Each structure stands twice: as C-alpha cells, then as structure tokens.
Amino acid sequence: MRRRQFIAHFARPTSSCRQDVRARHRDRVFLIIAVSGMAYMLSSPSALPQTSQGTEAAAEQQAFNNACRTCHVVRDGDNRLGPNLYKVIGRKAGSLPDYNYSSAMKEAGFVWDEEKLDRFIANPDQVVSGNSMKPYSGLPSSDDRRKIIAFLAQPR
C-alpha cells in the first residue's frame, strides 16, 4: 500500500510541489546564466593577461615562419634556398662564404641593420636591384616586418 501512495503522490503533485519545481527550475536557470556570464567574462580579452615576453616572442617567430621560413632559417651554416639569417644584423650583405649570392647582392656594399632590413623586407628590389629573391616581392605589413626584425635580432 505504501508503494501506491508514493506513486500517487508524484502522479498528482500538490500546489506546494509545483512551487518547489518552479523554484528549482528558476534556480537552475539562474545558475546556468551565472556560469555562462562568468565563462564569457573570463574569455574576453580584457580578462586575459596582457602580452608577455613569451607570447611576443612566439608572435615574432610566427611572423618569420609565415614570411621567410620557406627559404631561410636562423641556424648557423644551414643554407636552404636562401642563405641562413643567423646573426644577419651586423653582417655585410652577400658575405656568407658558403652561399651562392646573386652578383647584385655580392656587390651591394652595405651592412645589414634594422632599418635596411625593414626596407629590404618591404621591397627587396628597391634596396638591392637585381637580387634573386623571386618570387618574393615584399611584405607590406610594417607590424609583421617589425616582428621579423625583432626575431632576427634575438641572441641565439
């Protein structure tokens, strides 16, 4: 008999039972809204830490990889389609002994510095006419050029 009473009790909820269900439903909805709001706030850019050295270095390497790594690396002695760019800042243009530069680059007669690299990455033909950087024609983004130069300037 008790089992029937138990089933009957849940089959026909009383008005106080309906209020309990509504209160529980309201509490669940409130909890879902609160948790969703917290997740949204924590994922917004203002809640994240500002760019740190690690993420900036990663962005610099990513810019280099996207624009330069097809032909260049930054390991000493590891020449690919283009010469290695290990310690390129401060190096005379066209001076690596184990790379076959174009005659225009060999005769360029300057030392790479950050300003010269910026101009060269933006438009190689304007800095060294007759270079063999084809099909590369330049990188218009000054922000990406700045990141690449910062990457190349890092001590290795």
At the topology level, CATH places domain 53-153 in Cytochrome Bc1 Complex; Chain D, domain 2 (1.10.760)
Residue 8 above 60 pLDDT? no
Q: Mean pLDDT, to the nearest integer, of 101-125?
A: 96
Least confident residue range of 28-32, 57-61, 150-154: 28-32
Contacts of 86 (CB under 8 A, 6+ apart): 73, 74, 75, 76, 77, 78, 156
With beta carbons less than 8 A apart as the criterion, state whether 147 and 64 touch.
Answer: yes
Per DSSP, the three-state class of 71 is coil
Per DSSP, the three-state class of 139 is coil
Residue 69 above 80 pLDDT? yes
Residue 42 above 80 pLDDT? no
DSSP readout, 88-135?
Answer: -TTSBTT--TTS---HHHHT---B--HHHHHHHHH-HHHHSTT-S-TT
Delimit the domains of the chain by residue range.
2-47, 53-153
Q: Which residue has the higher pLDDT, 54 or 120?
A: 120
pLDDT at 15: 56
Residue 137 above 70 pLDDT? yes
